[in-house]
Amino acid sequence: MKFLLVSDEESPYIWDYFDIERYRDVDLIISAGDLKAQYLEFLVSMIPVDLLYVHGNHDDGYDDNPPLGCICIEDDIYIHKGIRILGLGGSYRYSNGKHQYTELEMQKRIKKLKRKIKKHKGFDILVAHSPAFGHGDGKDLAHRGFECFNELIRTYKPKYFIHGHQHMNYRWNQKRIYSIDETTCINAYMYHILEYV
C-alpha cells in the first residue's frame, strides 16, 4: 500500500501543480497537523481516498471549520484495511494554545487510550504532530518532543511513527527517516510517500 504523508507546510508541488497520475495509486492520506483545512479538503477531493488527521499546535481553526471530508483520529484508533492507526496530535506546551500539552497531560491522554489499545491488540502506526523526546525534536520548548511517546513506542512496537512539527529546514542535519528501536519514524514535513509493506 502507498500512503501520502503531509504536515506543517502546504506543498506547492501538490497544491499548485497537482498531477493525478503521481497519486493514482495512493491508498490513504495522513496529515500530521498544521495544515490549512482548505488544503486537506483539496487533497481529499483530488485523491479519492480517506484522509486521516491529527491536530497540530496551530490548528485551532479546525474547531470552527474542520476540514470537510476528512477524518479526525485524535485519541482514537482507525482501522484501514487491517492496519491499526493511533492518533495523538498537539505539541509540547509552550504558550496557551489549545493543542498544546504538558508531559503529564499527554501521559493522561495515553492512559485513557490503554483500553482501546488493548482491545485492538496494539497498533501498527502512531500518528502524532510532535516527535518523541530526543528523537527528531528540537532543543527549544516549542519543539521539544514527548518522553511518553518513547515509552508508548517501546511498549507496543508499532511499525511506523509518523509526526510533523519539526520542519526539515530547521537544522541542516535534520533527518526525515530514523528509528526508535524497531519502529521506523518519519517526519511528514511538507509531504512524503510511504510504501507500507
- Output the CA–CA distances (angstroms, integers) from residue 197 to 2, 3, 124, 133, in the order listed: 9, 11, 11, 27
Confidence label for 179 from pLDDT (cuts 50, 70 and 90): very high
What CATH number corresponds to the domain at position 57? 3.60.21.10
pTM of the model: 0.95
pLDDT in tens, 125-145: 999 999 999 898 888 888 899
Q: How far apart are CA 74 and CA 89, in angstroms?
A: 6
Domain count, the chain: 1
Cα 39 to its chain centre, rounded Å, is 16
Tell me the average pLDDT across 83-87: 98
Residue corresponding to grid cell 508531559: 103
The DSSP secondary-structure symbol of 54 reads -
Give the DSSP H or E segment for 42.
Answer: helix 37-46
Asked if residue 170 has pLDDT above 90, the reply is no
Which residues form the domain of 154? 2-195
Count the residues in the chain.
Answer: 197
